[in-house]
A = this chain, B = another copy of it.
Amino acid sequence: MAPTFLPAPLPLCLCLLLASGFSQAGRLLVVPMDGSHWFTMRSVVEQLIQRGHEVVTVMPEVSWQLGQSLNFTVKTYSTSYTLEDLDREFKNFAEAQWKIQEQGVFLFFANSSAGFFDLCFSHCRSLFKDKKLVQYLKESSFDAVFLDPFDACGLIVAKYFSLPSVVFSRGIFCHYLEEGAQCPAPLSYVPRILLGFSDVMSFTQRVWNHIFHLEEHLFCPYFYKKVVELASEILQTPVTAYDLFSQTSIWLLRSDFVLDYPRPVMPNMVFVGGINCHQGKKPLPKEFEAYVNASGEHGVVVFSLGSMVSEIPEKKAMAIAEGLGKIPQTVLWRYTGTPPSNLAKNTILVKWLPQNDLLGHPKTRAFITHAGSHGVYEGICNGVPMVMMPLFGDQMDNAKRMETRGAGVTLNVLEMTSDDIADALKKVIYDKSYKDNIMRLSSLHKDRPIEPLDLAVFWVEFVMRHKGAPHLRPAAHDLTWYQYHSLDVIGFLLGIVLLVAFISFKCCAYGFRKCFGKKEQRKKTQKSKTH
């Protein structure tokens, strides 16, 4: 057996390297998106500032997370909604996810989220109404825009100011990533998002994958209607969603193939999944250190449904609390709602927890997560098997991916009982294969030639240096859809084949008539003569 050998210690060196900096700094415009999206994007922005670039971030006055980030120039604009409006709409949206989904994915999504997305999409109008701000941005000669494409405002800004753009995202809702990057996605093994399929699909699943893709083409223009109208109004020319997405120079995608399924990609897609893992571990705060130390041989389970969901319907919370009480581990549960009355002794509710540091602790046995990508990557990074309770967005897909890799168990939040929860936890803690699989994924995930944060920084700077990345733009963008799929060529070749077949047939028929027709004629003539 050949020896196992460890990867070379890249990160430290690359940090030194990146710290060495540019000979001259550039000017970068940042258009972020509120919520958990901003957590990792901010870390890239902070690196860029450290490297001496002048960074200007435009953000709405009203936001959850954006205001917290502050050692760079921030330009705010007023919005037509208040923080209370935002909270209320998100609460409605989040609560709807806990209810039975009897409609199709799209209808459910559209109905439960209409109000919330209307708010998300509306603030861009406010930005462009702020004439002073627009004037300032126009005069600022930025080298590039670094943007989160979720609410499309960054895309509109990039187009309005004709700036090369770097998109930072986990993925793109609908088919606009494939369309915008001209990236093939064979429906036979690339599951559409939100379906929760793996890359190995049964015939029925492949049929649904096709139907869902057709649905996307019907639903998505409707979903993006307001965005497209807004963009057309601001840009004073009719634009499509494709126009907005296809201008992207570099796609920084928070994807990694230990989580996502391998599939065709494009040269201007850069994969920085797990970018949030890089941060050096900090020692646990005393309070948490004490909990972990007191957990004994059984260790702890970390439980968080992410930064956005901190409350759960009472009945569901009771079921969860009951399930947690059935395992010997200490459970650290981030929960800000009313404590369930049946909370067991082993369960400790906290308003906040140092998730990554806790997951990195050797006494952590499992991680209960909503399967948001940040959490899942932290789980992979630290090699902690997961029990997943996906709620919305890409969470179903993330959970499915970890499940097919044998590194976690997915629970249906709408149907799960306390026994299901306890069973799932026992399974991932005591069935050794889960730990083995997550450790294997972890070692693959962390073994990279360059740290994702450094890679992200590199490509933002690349776009700033070269004013885009035109050499990575495929010529497919200049083809019509029927040219791209070669329908004109296939039609032409088919036409020729048919023409040749037709002419051959006619010639044969003519020859046949010549040869046999005469004989027949003669026969007939003879016959008529004999009569």
Contacts from A to B (Cβ < 8 Å): 1-10, 13-14, 16-18, 20-27, 141-143, 183-184, 186-189, 199-200, 203, 206-207, 210-211, 257-258, 261-268, 271, 441, 443-444, 447, 449-450, 454-455, 458-459, 461-462, 464-466, 471-476, 478-479, 483-486, 488-490, 492-493
Contact B262 A265, beta carbon cutoff 8 Å: no
A359 to B26 Cα, complex, angstroms: 32
Contact A257 B488 (CB under 8 A): no
Kindly list chain B residues whose C-beta atoms are within 8 Å of the C-beta of A475.
Answer: 189, 199-200, 261-262
Q: Are B17 and A13 in contact (CB under 8 A)?
A: yes
Residues of chain B lying within 8 A (CB to CB) of residue A267:
257, 262-263, 265, 271
Chain B residues contacting A17 (CB-CB under 8 Å) are 8-10, 13-14
* A484 partner residues in chain B, CB cutoff 8 A: 186, 188-189
CA distance in complex: A167, B265 (Å): 20
Q: Is the CB of B20 within 8 A of A5?
A: no
Min C-beta distance of A40 to chain B, whole Å: 18
Q: Which B residues are in CB contact (< 8 Å) with A266?
A: 262, 264-265
28 A-B contacts, Cβ less than 8 Å apart? Answer: A2-B26, A2-B141, A5-B24, A6-B24, A7-B462, A9-B17, A10-B17, A184-B186, A186-B476, A186-B484, A187-B486, A189-B479, A200-B475, A203-B488, A203-B489, A206-B488, A207-B492, A262-B266, A262-B267, A262-B268, A264-B264, A264-B265, A441-B471, A444-B471, A447-B465, A449-B450, A449-B455, A450-B450
Nearest Cβ distance between residue A495 and chain B, in whole angstroms? Answer: 11
A400, chain B: closest CB distance, angstroms? 13
Instruction: Flag if B2 contacts A23 (CB, 8 Å).
Output: no
**Copies of this chain held together in the complex:** 2
Query: Do A184 and B264 contact each other (CB < 8 Å), given the known contacts A189-B476, A454-B449?
Result: yes
Q: Pick the contact of A258 from B6, B471, B493 — CB < 8 Å? A: B471
A354 to chain B, nearest CB (A): 29
Q: Which 6 pairs show the lowest CB-CB distances between chains A and B? A: A13-B17, A199-B475, A5-B24, A449-B458, A184-B184, A189-B475
Looking at the complex, which one of B21, B458, B472 makes contact with A257 (CB distance below 8 Å)? B472
> Of B25, B189, B473, B486, which one neighbours A206 at CB under 8 angstroms?
B486
Chain B residues closer than 8 Å to A22, beta-carbon distance? 5-8
User: When the two chains form their complex, are residues B462 and A447 in contact, meaning their CB atoms are under 8 A apart?
Assistant: yes
Q: Judging by beta carbons under 8 Å apart, are B13 and A142 in contact?
A: no
Residues of B with C-beta under 8 A to A444: 466, 471
Smallest Cβ-Cβ distance to A445: which chain B residue: B471
Closest to A270 in B: B449
Q: Which of B24, B262, B454, B483 contacts A473 (CB 8 A)?
A: B262
Interface centre among A6, A20, A187, A474 (most CB of B within 10 A): A474
Q: What distance in Å separates the Cβ of A440 from its nearest Cβ neighbour in chain B?
A: 9
Of A8, A261, A454, A464, the most chain B CB neighbours within 10 A belong to: A8
B3/A188 in contact, CB under 8 A: no
A5 CB contacts on chain B under 8 angstroms: 22-26, 461, 464-465
- Given known contacts A13-B13, A188-B476, A261-B475, what 12 new A-B pairs fall within 8 Å (CB)? A2-B143, A5-B25, A5-B464, A6-B22, A8-B18, A8-B20, A13-B17, A14-B14, A184-B186, A187-B486, A189-B484, A262-B471
The answer to whether B3 touches A24, judged by C-beta atoms less than 8 angstroms apart, is yes
Contacts of A3 on B, CB cut-off 8 Å? 24-26
> Across the interface, which residues of B come within 8 angstroms of A23, CB to CB?
5-6
Q: Which of B1, B6, B186, B471 contacts A141 (CB 8 A)?
A: B1
- A184 / chain B contacts, CB cutoff of 8 Å: 184, 186, 264
Residue in chain B with minimal CB distance to A15: B13
Q: Within the assembled complex, what's the spacing in Å between the Cα atoms of A199 and B470?
A: 14
Q: Which of B441, B455, B458, B478 contacts A200 (CB 8 A)?
A: B478
